[in-house]
Amino acid sequence: MGSVVRVSRVIHAAAPQVWEVITDLEHAADVLSGVVGVEVLTAGAYREGTRWRETRKMMGKEATEEMWVSDVDAPHRTVVSAASAGVVYTTVITLAEAGEATELTMEFSSEAPPQHGLRKALHAVMAPLGSAVTKKMLEKDLDDIARAAEHS
């Protein structure tokens, strides 16, 4: 049982500038207003296998997740993954040149093990709320990335 949330935005900056903002993990907490801290766990450049712990504040609470780059095609696409409590989360980030601008798309998906009984019913009720919160978070991330890329 999974869900997908997809958001896009045109950023008035070239794809390489946008890519630099997205892949600069050391400064992610300075750029993304929902991120309160990042601990990079892998030395070196952003690449497949890069790992970090990201702490976000959502709905008044902080949560930390370990994330990793599961695929990268610089400066066009990257895939970031995480796993928590049996759920696998994947965010596919694509950059498409649009003249002198860049269309940035984030597609967030989650895949949970099969649910039964009360858990299945609870998921059916809560999933739309989770998707709405996730969409709002991703849209805010896009706004923050745009602001940083357009002013760099």
pLDDT per residue as tens digits for the range 67-79 = 999 999 999 999 9
Q: How far apart are CA 97 and CA 79, in angstroms?
A: 18
The CATH number assigned to the domain holding 115 equals: 3.30.530.20
Q: How long, in residues, is the chain? A: 152
Strands 51-58 and 35-40: antiparallel
Task: Give the residue numbers spanning the domain of 116.
Answer: 2-150
pLDDT band at residue 37, thresholds of 50, 70 and 90? very high
Task: Work out the pLDDT band at 6, boundaries 50, 70, 90.
Answer: very high
Say whether pLDDT at 1 is over 60: no
Q: How far apart are CA 120 and CA 8, in angstroms?
A: 30
Span 98-126, average pLDDT? 79
Amino acid at 11: I
Does residue 121 surpass a pLDDT of 80? Answer: no
Measured distance CA(144)–CA(136) in Å, rounded: 12
Q: Please tell me which residue, 116 or 28, carries the higher pLDDT value.
A: 28
- Give the C-alpha separation, 138 to 101, whole Å: 19
Number of domains, the chain: 1
- One-letter amino acid of 20: E
Q: In whole angstroms, what is the distance from residue 32 CA to residue 111 CA?
A: 25
Least confident of 21-25, 47-51, 58-62, 136-140: 58-62
Question: What number is the average pLDDT over the span 38-58?
Answer: 97
Q: Which helix (H) or strand (E) holds 42?
A: none
**Which residues, 6 or more positions from 59, have their beta carbon under 8 angstroms from its beta carbon?**
133
